[in-house]
Amino acid sequence: MITVENVRKVFPLPKGEEFVALGDVSLALQDNEFVTVVGPSGCGKSTLLNILAGLETPTRGRALVDGEPVTGPGPERGVIFQQYALFPWLTVRKNVEFGLRNRGVPRAERRATADHFIELVGLERFADALPKTLSGGMKQRVAIARAYAVNPSILLMDEPFGAVDALTRVRLQEQLLATWSQERRTVLFITHDVDEAVFLANRVVVMAARPGRIAEIVDVDLPYPRTEESRLSPRFTALRNRVWSAVYHQESVA
């Protein structure tokens, strides 16, 4: 259970000005929900994720995970970054084992866990390869396996498929849902892609900029597992159109 209570985040700018990344944001995620956050750049969606990850502290308000205030990164929260953030000097398996090693998991157990998640993302043939030999989509799958390996109850994903081509992106979305259906977690997924937001989520949070705030929350009542049919269904189109206009026809407050 994730709760965001009246979070405000202000970044100081040079010349004494300030940028209000998040105005006054409140949000609650139930366990095992898949929530996507979509909005224009500058709406504070990445800031919101960083606060939940414990990489930023809110200027005001607080973020709670299972009732506990977030004060820093924690093992129950896995983070997946847009730039993959794989350690380039470690093999795929060593990357996936990184978090387990920090926890002092014995070698044999580490390896078994890593291999399980590498297999889950379909990269068992590349377990001993260095990241530089992998394509962007494969790297992101390694990052997903690495986040899963430490067994977090929450996955925070910051535009994870933003840097891959459209075709790969669709495959990765399907694969992410397949992984999620086998290993249920609470997912907060940031994206700027409306289709992606609707296809993945059971709730879409639409944010607006200046100041960063939640404009609308759209429930996606499409059943899982989602397939190509879901993507092409009239219901999907209707939801997509609704989210689209919420994102692109925002009245400005400022």
Partner 1 sequence: MTLVEAETDVAVSRGELGRRAPGVPRTVLNLISVLVGLGVWWGASLTGIDIPGPAVVLKRGMELAADGTLGADVLASVKRVLSGFLLGVLAAVPVGFLMGWYPAVRALVEPWIQFFRTIPPLALIPLAIVLMGIEETPKIFVIFLASFLSCVIATLQGVLTVDRTLLNAARVLGANDRVIFARVVIPASSPFILVGMRIGLGSSWATLVAAELIAAQQGLGYRMQSAQLYYDLPTIFVGLISIGLLGLLMDRLLLLAERRLTDWQETR
- Residues lying near partner 1 in the complex (CB under 8 A): 53-55, 72-73, 75, 77-79, 81, 83, 85-90, 98-99, 102-103, 122-123, 125-126, 129-135, 137-138, 146, 150, 168, 171
Choice between 86 and 218, CB closer to partner 1: 86
User: Do residues 35 and 48 make contact, with C-beta atoms less than 8 angstroms apart?
Assistant: no
**Smallest separation, CB 116 to partner 1 (Å):** 17
**Smallest separation, CB 222 to partner 1 (Å):** 23
**Smallest separation, CB 158 to partner 1 (Å):** 10
- Within 66-219, residue ranges assigned H as helices are 92-102, 107-120, 136-149, 166-182, 194-200
Query: Which strands make up the sheet holding 2-12, listed edge to edge?
Result: 18-29, 2-12, 60-65, 68-69
**Smallest separation, CB 74 to partner 1 (Å):** 8
Choice between 93 and 240, CB closer to partner 1: 93
**Smallest separation, CB 106 to partner 1 (Å):** 16
How far, in Å, CA of 127 to CA of 119, rounded? Answer: 9
User: Do residues 225 and 177 make contact, with C-beta atoms less than 8 angstroms apart?
Assistant: yes
What residues contact 31, with CB distance under 8 A and at least 6 apart?
1, 153, 186
Choice between 17 and 128, CB closer to partner 1: 128
Residue type at 35 in one-letter notation: V
Distances (CA, A) of 116 to 104, 112, 121, 124: 18, 6, 9, 9
Choice between 138 and 206, CB closer to partner 1: 138
Choice between 126 and 199, CB closer to partner 1: 126
**Smallest separation, CB 39 to partner 1 (Å):** 21
Choice between 67 and 104, CB closer to partner 1: 104
How far, in Å, CA of 36 to CA of 49, rounded? Answer: 11
How far, in Å, CA of 72 to CA of 65, rounded? Answer: 11
